Structure 1
Amino acid sequence: MFTGIVEERGEIVARDDLAEAARFRIRGPLVTSDASFGDSIAVNGVCLTVVELEDGAFTVDVMAETLRRSSLDKLRPGANVNLERAMAAGGRFGGHIVQGHVDGVGTVVSISPSENWTVVRVAVPADLAKYVVEKGSITIDGISLTVSAIGHDREYGDWLEVSLIPTTLSETTLGVTATGARVNLEVDVIAKYVERLTGADRAEGQQ
C-alpha cells in the first residue's frame, strides 16, 4: 500500500520492449537506498516490483495489460517519473489509501497558474467520474491530491480540478506537465467498496 506522498522524482534511464511487456530501468537514489529484490515501488502511481538493483537505479518489468491501462506506455529514456516506496508498518499516513492499481487514464486539458497555486483541470473517463467528489481524494500520477472542483462540459466531458501548491509543482512531475498529457488516475478505493456493498444490498432486497 502507498499514501500518494511522492518521495522523489526519478528518471527513466533505459527501456527495453519485449514480447507483450517492457522493461524499464529507473534512477531513484532515495527509493533504492533501502530497497531489496521483490520490493514494491510506485512509478507514476503504478505499483511495480523491483527485479534488479544497481548504482541507485532499479529495474521493473511491466506487462502489456499495465502498459495498455496506464500512461507508462509513453515513457521513454529521459522522462521524469514520481516515485514512492510502499508504506512501512507504523509509518506516517500523510496522504490517503493508494493501492497503486491505476483505474484509468485522464488528460490534462488546462493549466491555470496564479501567484500562490496552480489549478490543473483533468478530463476524466466517464466510468470513473462517479467516484470523484469535490473535496475528496484522487491520485494523479501517484500524487495524493484533493479535488477542488468537478464538472462536465461538451468539449471535455467529465472533468476534475486540483489546486497545486508550489512544493507539489517543484517536487513532482505535475510541475512540468503540459496540456494534452496523459496521467494515471486512481480513485478512492473506499468509494468503490461502498458502491459494491450498496449494490449488493439492493440486489438482495429485490429477491
Structure 2
Amino acid sequence: MSGWAADRYGARRVFVRAIAVFTLASALCAAAGGLPELVVTRVAQGIGGAMMVPVGRLAVLRSTRKPDLLRAIAWLTWPGLLAPVLAPALGGPFTTYASWHWIFLVNVPLGVPALPLALRLVPDLRRTERPRLDWVGFGAGGAGLAAAVLGLERFGDAPAAWGAGASWLTAGVALCLLAVRHLRCRRDPLLDLGAPKVDTLRVSNTGGALFRASITAVPFLVPLSRRR
C-alpha cells in the first residue's frame, strides 16, 4: 500500500515518517527486555522499512529524467544486493565482540541525519486526486500471503504440526485467489495485475526473482557451511 500512501499523502511525508518509525523501532528493538517485546518492535521496524524502501524508489524514479533512469536504478539496486552479503559479515563481529543490541543500534546514527536530508531532498510528489484505498484487496492479499507463509513455516516443524500447516496454507491460497479475483474486477485496484503483460517488466521480474532468490540464500547457507 506504499504506492497508494505516496499518491494520497505525498512521497516526502510518507518517506520521512517511515524513516522515523524505522529509526525509533530500531532503538526500541535494542532496548527490548525479552522476546515478546523484541517481536513487537521488530514488527514496527518492518512496517517502517516496508514503507521506506518502495516510497524512496518511487520518488527517485518519478523525479528522474528518462535518459538518467538506468543510472538511478543502478544506485537503487546495488545497496539491496550488497546488504545480504555484507550483513552477516558485520553482524558476526557485533554479536561476538559486543552484543546483539548493536545490530539494531547501528540504524540509529543513520536514521537521525536521514530525516532532515529527506525533508530537504525528497520531492513532494502526489496525485492531484486523492485515491481511495482498496481495503478488500489489501486485506485479502495481505492476510492470504501471511497465512500461506505461516503454513509453509509450520512444515519445517515436527510432523505433528503439518496438519496445522496444511490448514494455514489452504486458507492462504484461498484468500490469495479471492484477492486476485477482486483485483481483476475492480476499476481502481490496489495492485494492477495487468502490468506483467509488458514484456520488459515480465522478463526483468522473472530473471530478478531467480537472482534475488540466490542472493538471499547466502545468509542461510553461510552459517550452515560453517557448522560442517
Q: TM-score, normalised by structure 1?
A: 0.25
Structure number with greater Rg is 2
Larger strand fraction of residues: 1
Larger helix fraction of residues: 2
